[in-house]
Structure 1
Amino acid sequence: MRLSLLAACLSLAFTCHAQAPQAAQRLAKQAIIVDTHIDAPTRLLEHWADLDRAQPDREFDYAKARRGGLDVAFMSIYTSPAQDADGSAWQVANTMIDAVQALVQRHPDQFALLTSPRDAARLRQGGRVLLPLGMENGAPLGDDLGNVKFFFDRGVRYITLAHSAANRIADSSYAADKTWNGLSPFGRQVVAEMNRLGMMVDVSHLGDASALEAIQLSKVPVIASHSAFRHFTPGFERNISDEIAKAVAARGGVIQVPFGTGFISPDAAADMQAFFRARQAFNQHNAELQAQGKPPLDRAAFDRDWAPKHPPRTSTLAQVLDQIDYGVKLVGIDHIGIGSDFDGVDGELAEGLTSAADYPNLVAGLQARGYADADIRKILGGNLLRVWGEIEAGAGH
Structure 2
Amino acid sequence: MKELLKKWNSISLVKRILVGLIIGIILATTVPTYASPITILGSLFVSALKGVAPILVFFLVMTAISQHESGKKTNMSSIIGLYLLGTFLAALIAVIASFMFPIKLTLGVTANDVAPPGGVAEVLKNLLVNIVDNPVKALFNANYIGILAWALILGLALKNSAESTKTMISNVSDALSQVVRWIISFAPFGIMGLVFDSIATQGLETLLGYGQLIILLVGSMAFIALIVNPIIVFGATHQNPYPLVFKCLKDSGITAFFTRSSAANIPVNMELCEELGLDKDTYSVSIPLGATINMAGAAITISILTLAAVNTLGIKVDVGMALVLSLLSTISACGSSGVAGGSLLLVPLACSLFGIPNDIAMQVVGVGFIVGVIQDSCETALNSSTDVLFTAAAEYAKLRKSRSKKEVNV
TM-score tier after normalising by the smaller chain length? under 0.3
Q: TM-score, normalised by structure 1?
A: 0.27
Structure number with bigger Rg:
2
Q: TM-score, normalised by structure 2?
A: 0.27
Q: Which has the higher strand share?
A: 1
Q: Which has the higher helix share?
A: 2
